[in-house]
Each structure stands twice: as structure tokens, then as C-alpha cells.
Structure 1
Amino acid sequence: MHDDTDAATRSILVLGAGELGMAVLRGLTGHPAAPRGTEITVLLRPATLESQAPGKRREIEELRALGIHLLAGDLAAGSVDELARLFRPFDTVICCTGFVAGTGTQRKLATAVLAAGVKRYVPWQFGVDYDIIGRGSGQNLWDEQLDVRDLLRSQDATEWVIVSTGMFTSFLFEPSFGVVDLANGTVHALGHWDTAVTVTTPEDIGTLTAAILFAEPRIANQVVFTAGDTITYARLADILDSHLGRNLRRVEWHIPTLSADLAADPDNALKKYRVAFAQGTGVAWDIGETFNARNGIAVTDVAGWVRRNLPHRI
């Protein structure tokens, strides 16, 4: 194994520059503990690099201003061998491309990383505690996450670090997810009001992932937990009532109801997530045991996110 943090972080490749990828790239480039001479590259689809859309151009300009190198590649279309050739020059690979790339992509990427002989890999596992949840949760994509863990744990040539963050804080308020339905003045509890969920903002994930990668002594071959907040659905409703100055309607979505909804629409990803989170297992953990709490790193809790992102009167 490698005994010096610099060797595993001198050349870093980040896969993807979406919401999480950009946060991780900003966190890496701005972190004071980054070893001198660290070079950061982001892999983007050729179509993104060539796009003339104003939003994409601004993204590319920010990446260049941060001193980040740009590499063209297609994670969905590329074979294991093709991806391994792209990955081989890098010491650390961080996957920030989630499930949008399609079923099987995360397994393929992990296989390519191992084939490339990369020193350290941070897979797309920025989510829940898949080990505790186990297989058959109702969200089949989570089973693939366990496949990736099995693959990484079955070898000792490439170090790995898994950053468990819970749900993105903003997803808790996503109208299509349905937990917070401000348009209809309703908060839904997944399972029960005392069911809890852990959430972290992408910005905090970016900062914390950089701190985890650059930590001394080096963190390797383990799952690291973060949390911006761990909150019950009752507490979430209380925060919203206080912030909005009115009482929202509270409706429990019990597991049998959610399971029936999913059975009637089995390919609906959001309904799969509702069932999985309603179980309450492996989706929430003690903030005091997290990397950010142990290291005194400030993060955004749900109340802070609400103050920053929701108007007082809706």
C-alpha cells in the first residue's frame, strides 16, 4: 500500500462537473491542505466541451479559471479498456457522475479504475449506508452500489474511500419527490413523523471530500460519514412552519401505501426512493460521529438551508 498522502493525491481526476462535481472541484482547488503541485483534471463529455450554450460556456470558463485541466471522455459509451486508458495517468479518481449515466455504469467505472491501476478511488457512493440497508431495498440502483463495494473490497491494489453523505439537502425539498409540497401547503412524512434522514449540501460535500482526501494520516479503505443534519420529518415540518409563519398540513405516507404506489408504477425512480427512505434503515446517522463533527468543520443544517433558499412567505 502507499504510505504517503502526496503520492495518492498529486494527480486527481474528477468524473463529471454537475452539481456535485463542481462542488468537489471547487473544494479540491480551494483546500489549504492540498499538497503542493497537485494537479486536478475533470473528465467531460465531448459534447459538453464543444457546447456553445451560455451555461456550459460559463462552467468551462470557471474550470479554466480554477486551473483545472479538461479531458474529453464518455463514461456511458466507453468500454472498460477505453476508460482504463483514460484513468491510467491519474493517482486518484473521484466519481461525481451518478445514476444518470445508466444501470451498470458504476460497476463499469470501478472495474476500469482497478484495471488502470489507479492508487485511490472515491466511487459515486455519496448517499446512504448501503451496507446496513443490504440488497432488495426497493431501489435497485442501491444494489449496484453494493456490487461496487464488493469489487473494491475484493482487492488490495487500489485504495478506496467512500463518502456517505445521506441525501442531498436540496432533494428533500424537490417538488417531484413530494416530501415538501409547498404548492399545496403540505409536508409528507416518509414512513412516520419520527423517521429520520441524514442530509448534506453538495457544497459541504465538496469541502468535506477534499478534507477527507488530504487528511493526515491518510484515510484509506473505509467508509467516512458526513452530515449537514440528521432530522426527523416532524422536525422538518416544525422548521418550515416557523420559517413560513403558518402551519403546513402534515400527511404521513405509510410504507404499505408507498409500496402499493411503487407496485403500480414499478419503474418510477422517485417512488423507489420514497419506499427506501421510508424504511428508515441506513438513511440516518448520529451527527456527532461524523467526520465534520469530529474535525470541527462547519456545515449547513436544514434550518440554515431553509433560511438561505426559501422565501418567508409562499
Structure 2
Amino acid sequence: MSPHSHELPHGAILVLGAGELGMAVLRHLAPRCQALARPLAVLVSPRSLQAPDSAQARRQAELRAMGVRLLPFDLQGGSEAALAALLQPFDTVLNCTGFVAGPGTQTRITGAVLAAGVRRYFPWQFGVDYDVVGTGSGQPVFDEQYAVRQQLRAQSATAWVIVSTGMFTSFLFEPLFCLVDFGGDVVRALGSWETRLTVTTPDDIGRLTSAIVLETPAIRDRVVYVAGDTLSYGRLAEIVEEVTGRPFRRELLTPERLAADLAGQPGDGMARYRIAFARGDGMWWDKENTYNAQRGIATVDVRTWLHAHGGLWHSRGTPPGA
């Protein structure tokens, strides 16, 4: 346990990043912070403020309307010391950046957070259980995520909370990930049909994370598990057939097949992800034991998500995201 008092300060909160997950967190956190009179800011790239594209301009207008302060900083070019200086006024930092600035981003940000003396930190760990995965999963990004946990546990000055969410629900249907092919009516399994995985929508992650941030007594120095759904690849195939009302051919991608695919294309990041998710361990947890289930908070499961995104599969040959 960290040496902080039982009541964390009710001071300023900073969210790093205004991408898909950052915006989901901010949309749920902003009204609650306003009600509590807690200042809320978001870190964005200077370029996005100076010359925003249309999507960035829309997000920035939405953020300002929610009362969120926009704070520019170049995560790729800025030094760790400069980032630490910028973080010092904030009591709580939520990291929603992903790996936008390349390898080493997360260990560098964590170093800046600790140097700044931030009182509580939510690292970019919105994914799988890196304690179980450990190192050597075949996905270098996972190795870095495990290293971040080691950084945080090696100190006691900054309280930390890790929110484990599994993959984004939509990623099940991402064409490049190759699990569900609506055009060809194929569902693929990684490793085995019994291998399981946990998925959560960004909106549910944002809603649950905002609740975790503001819960009293404060949550600290622990991993909090959330889930929209936990299912096997076999169950995924059944749900796809039940929702679409048509049969899908099933194709098993064995560990040997996945390893051969990566050997043929060693630079393919998705091939590395498929190998990692084929292992099963650390990629799932029982929904019944999650933060949302224990508090009776409803989340979107895979069946509900598919029904809400019927445009993906109503027309054959229309891939997800088209």
C-alpha cells in the first residue's frame, strides 16, 4: 500500500490523449468532475491545436463545451523532464495515449509521472492481464506493458490503479485481425475453439473508468478487472451465426499455423497479436468477478454489439468498418 492518507486529494485530473478511448473517458468523466468542482484537462498534440483536421476540430469543440481544458504537449519530441514538469500540478493522471509515440512511450510516460510526484496514476493498461502474460509473448508491446507494472510496484510515492479491459469489442470484427469475415462467411479461432478472451467497448471502459477514478474510498495500488463479455472463439462463431441468421465456415488457426504466418511476414504486427491472443492465458477473466458485475453495472456484450452494428453483416461482402 502507498503511504498516502485514506482520502486522496480532490484536485485536478489530467487525461493523456483524446483518441477513441480518451474521448470515451472524458465524456463520462467531465460531467462528474463539473458536479464535484474538480478541474479536468486533456493532453493533446500541439499540431492538433495549431492545424486541426476536421475530426480533431470536432473533438476539440466537444471538449471545450464539456469544460475540459486542452493542454498541448509533444509526447514524441518532448523530454521526460519537460513532461514531468507539466504533470506536477495534477493529482490524478489517466493515460489514454496508446503507443502513439512508438516503443518506449509507456515506460517514459510512467517515469515522468513518478518524477512529477503525481498522487495517483492510471497507466495505459487498458488491455490484457500483463502479469499473467509476462514477457516473451511474441508481442514486444506486451513486454513494455509488463515493465510499466514493475516500475509502479517498485515505488510507493505514487498510488496506481490498473484497469484491465481485454480488447475492444470492435476488434473482434476488424478485417486486419482476421477473426470474422462477413464477406466470406468465415469465423476463425486462434489456438483452439475453446480459447477464451475478454472484450469491452470503449464507451463501457470510459464509463467504468470514470466510476473507478471517483469511487470512495479511493481505489489504489491494485488491478481492477472489467468486462463487456468473456467468451470462447467457439461461442463467438455461434453468436455470429445466431445474429446474422446464416451459417459460417469455421477455420482453426493453430499455434503452428500462426507461427508460420509470422515467420513469413516478420514485420506484420497483426500476426504478432494473433499469436499472443492464441495463448489464452491472461487474455480473459470471468465476467462474474469484475468491477461492473460486482456493482450491478450493465455492459455491452458481443451479441448486443453485433445487433447494434447490423450494417457490418446485413449485406454480404460489406466488411467491418466500410
Q: Please, what TM-score do these two structures have when normalized by structure 1?
A: 0.96
Aligned 1:63-82 pairs, distance under 5 A: 63-82=63-82
Match of 2:110 in 1: 110
Match of 1:139 in 2: 139
Structure 2 counterpart of 1:2, one-letter code: H
CA distance in 1, matches of 2:278, 2:182: 20
Q: Is the 8 A contact 2:163 2:225 kept in 1?
A: yes
CA distance in 2, matches of 1:197, 1:52: 37
Q: Is the 8 A contact 2:186 2:249 kept in 1?
A: yes
Which sections of structure 2, spanning at least 5 residues, go unmatched? 316-322
CA distance in 2, matches of 1:37, 1:72: 23
Match of 2:20 in 1: 19
How far off is 1:234 after superposition? 1.2
CA distance in 2, matches of 1:227, 1:85: 35
Q: Is the 8 A contact 1:186 1:248 kept in 2?
A: yes
Match of 1:279 in 2: 279
* Match of residue 5, structure 2, among 3, 6, 9: 3
Secondary structure of residue in 2 paired with 1:93: strand
Match of 2:159 in 1: 159
CA distance in 2, matches of 1:220, 1:52: 36
How far off is 1:237 after superposition? 1.1
Aligned 1:201-280 pairs, distance under 5 A: 201-280=201-280
Secondary structure of residue in 2 paired with 1:124: coil
**Alignment deviations for residues 212-260 of structure 1 (CA, whole Å, 9 cap, x no partner):** 1111111100000000000111111111111111001110111110011
**Alignment deviations for residues 177-207 of structure 1 (CA, whole Å, 9 cap, x no partner):** 1001112211100111111110000000001
Structure 1 runs, 4 residues or longer, greater than 6 Å off: none
Match of 1:127 in 2: 127
Secondary structure of residue in 2 paired with 1:99: coil
CA distance in 1, matches of 2:31, 2:234: 37
1:29 aligns with 2:13: no
Secondary structure of residue in 1 paired with 2:156: coil
CA distance in 2, matches of 1:143, 1:35: 39
Secondary structure of residue in 1 paired with 2:57: helix
Q: Is the 8 A contact 2:228 2:299 kept in 1?
A: yes
CA distance in 1, matches of 2:36, 2:52: 34
Q: Is the 8 A contact 2:94 2:122 kept in 1?
A: yes
Q: Is the 8 A contact 1:239 1:303 kept in 2?
A: yes
Q: Is the 8 A contact 2:90 2:118 kept in 1?
A: yes
Match of 1:298 in 2: 298
CA distance in 1, matches of 2:52, 2:4: 42
How far off is 1:5 after superposition? 4.3
Match of 1:85 in 2: 85
CA distance in 2, matches of 1:190, 1:298: 28
CA distance in 1, matches of 2:31, 2:191: 40
How far off is 1:79 after superposition? 0.9
Structure 2 counterpart of 1:3, one-letter code: S
Q: Is the 8 A contact 1:5 1:214 kept in 2?
A: no
Identity in percent: 52
CA distance in 2, matches of 1:172, 1:51: 34
Q: Is the 8 A contact 1:245 1:313 kept in 2?
A: no
CA distance in 2, matches of 1:59, 1:73: 17
**Alignment deviations for residues 243-291 of structure 1 (CA, whole Å, 9 cap, x no partner):** 1110011101111100111122222110110000001110011001100
Which sections of structure 1, spanning at least 5 residues, go unmatched? none
How far off is 1:53 after superposition? 2.2
How far off is 1:35 after superposition? 6.9
Q: Is the 8 A contact 1:125 1:162 kept in 2?
A: yes
Q: Is the 8 A contact 2:8 2:218 kept in 1?
A: no
How far off is 1:310 after superposition? 2.4
CA distance in 2, matches of 1:95, 1:239: 33
Structure 2 counterpart of 1:217, one-letter code: P
CA distance in 1, matches of 2:85, 2:241: 53
CA distance in 1, matches of 2:190, 2:21: 25
Q: Is the 8 A contact 2:17 2:97 kept in 1?
A: yes
CA distance in 2, matches of 1:67, 1:107: 30
Match of 1:199 in 2: 199
